[in-house]
Amino acid sequence: MDLLRAVIIGPQGTPYHDGLFFFDAQFTASYPATPPVVYYHSGGLRLNPNLYDCGTVCLSLLGTWHGNGCENWNSAHSTMLQVLISIQGLVLNEKPYFNEPGYETEVNDANGPRRSLEYNDTAFQHSCRTMLYSLRRPPQHFEDLVAGHFRERGHAILNACKYYMEGNEVGSVVPDEGKELENANAEGSSNSNAVKPKKCAGAGRRTASFKADTKVLFEELLVEFNVKGADTKKFCAEKSKKPHQ
């Protein structure tokens, strides 16, 4: 096999949750002595420090970034599966801001966490734009997968958009998806283990730009999810009531 196309579903708890991220891998004549050449379908968006808008995947395992020891490609042990798992677990992570070289020193800095949250806001919006790109121009032979995925996850994605627009942290558990919070609210429980909303630090700061831009993306996603047959009744009903309020 000389060419491979793979899709990674964005992990829960990250700004990439429920997104579809497509990668093409080319296995040259020197493979497996050298790593495959991997191209990311960016749609022209830079949503992660390791995923360039030109399609480059910056990863030591691929030889596109310097690494030490087991971080580098090993012709005897490294595999394409390892590459995909690394992208899903190490690149599409909870705090991608700190993936940027040198930024890891800001983890305990006064401004580091704030900048990380701001980066997550932008990453989520770019992830939504990537969803729209995939919905409107699905990669060849992946049309059914794209339609099926967003038909199943459309409701959760729209719910997350609304939740984040209310000032909650991107990537935090959305009540409609968190059964613990749902049960706790229903029972009036004060259980300290129940999932609680995580308000974004500086929520007032993000209101003007983040909320407005996310609302536009929400409306566009709602249209596309409707076409794919996702469960959007709740959101369509809310939209139809607004002019009468």
Q: In sequence order, what are the residues at sequence separation of 6 or more whose Cβ sits closer than 8 angstroms to the Cβ of residue 108?
A: none
Residue 192 has pLDDT above 50, yes or no: no
Kindly state whether residues 191 and 130 are assigned to the same domain. Answer: yes
pLDDT digits (tens, 9 = 90+) for 207-220: 579 999 999 999 99
> Among this protein's residues, is 58 annotated catalytic?
yes
In a domain, 103, yes or no: no
In angstroms, what CA-CA distances link 12 with 63, 126, 171, 173, 190? 28, 16, 7, 9, 25
Of 20-24, 188-192, 227-231, the range with the lowest mean pLDDT is: 188-192
In a domain, 104, yes or no: no
CATH number for the domain spanning 10: value is 3.10.110.10
Kindly state whether residues 65 and 12 are assigned to the same domain. Answer: yes
The pLDDT assigned to 130 comes to 98
Kindly state whether residues 77 and 187 are assigned to the same domain. Answer: no
Distance CA 25, CA 59 (A): 14
pLDDT digits (tens, 9 = 90+) for 113-154: 999 999 999 999 999 999 999 999 999 999 999 999 999 999
The pLDDT assigned to 180 comes to 45
Catalytic residue among 54, 58, 161, 236: 58
Kindly state whether residues 232 and 132 are assigned to the same domain. Answer: yes
- pLDDT: is 242 or 57 the higher one? 57
pLDDT digits (tens, 9 = 90+) for 160-184: 999 999 999 999 999 865 454 445 4
- pLDDT: is 198 or 21 the higher one? 21
Q: In sequence order, what are the residues at sequence separation of 6 or more whose Cβ sits closer than 8 angstroms to the Cβ of residue 81?
A: none
Last residue of a domain, one of 98, 123, 151: 98
Kindly state whether residues 29 and 61 are assigned to the same domain. Answer: yes
Burial class (CB in 10 A: 0-12, 13-18, 19+), 65: middle
Containing structural domain, residue 192: 109-244
Domain count, the chain: 2
Six-digit token string for 41 = 């379908």
The pLDDT assigned to 186 comes to 53
Kindly state whether residues 118 and 89 are assigned to the same domain. Answer: no
Kindly state whether residues 225 and 202 are assigned to the same domain. Answer: yes
Last residue of a domain, one of 45, 79, 98: 98
In a domain, 39, yes or no: yes
In angstroms, what CA-CA distances link 99 with 6, 187, 207? 23, 41, 26
In a domain, 66, yes or no: yes
Task: Give the model's confidence band at 245: pLDDT under 50 very low, under 70 low, under 90 confident, else very high.
Answer: very low
In a domain, 189, yes or no: yes
Task: Give the model's confidence band at 199: pLDDT under 50 very low, under 70 low, under 90 confident, else very high.
Answer: low
Kindly state whether residues 213 and 124 are assigned to the same domain. Answer: yes
Kindly state whether residues 143 and 178 are assigned to the same domain. Answer: yes
180 near 186, Cβ under 8 Å? no
Kindly state whether residues 152 and 208 are assigned to the same domain. Answer: yes
Kindly state whether residues 61 and 178 are assigned to the same domain. Answer: no
pTM of the shown model = 0.88
Last residue of a domain, one of 48, 76, 98: 98
Kindly state whether residues 27 and 123 are assigned to the same domain. Answer: no
The pLDDT assigned to 62 comes to 97
Place of tokens 């497509």: 22
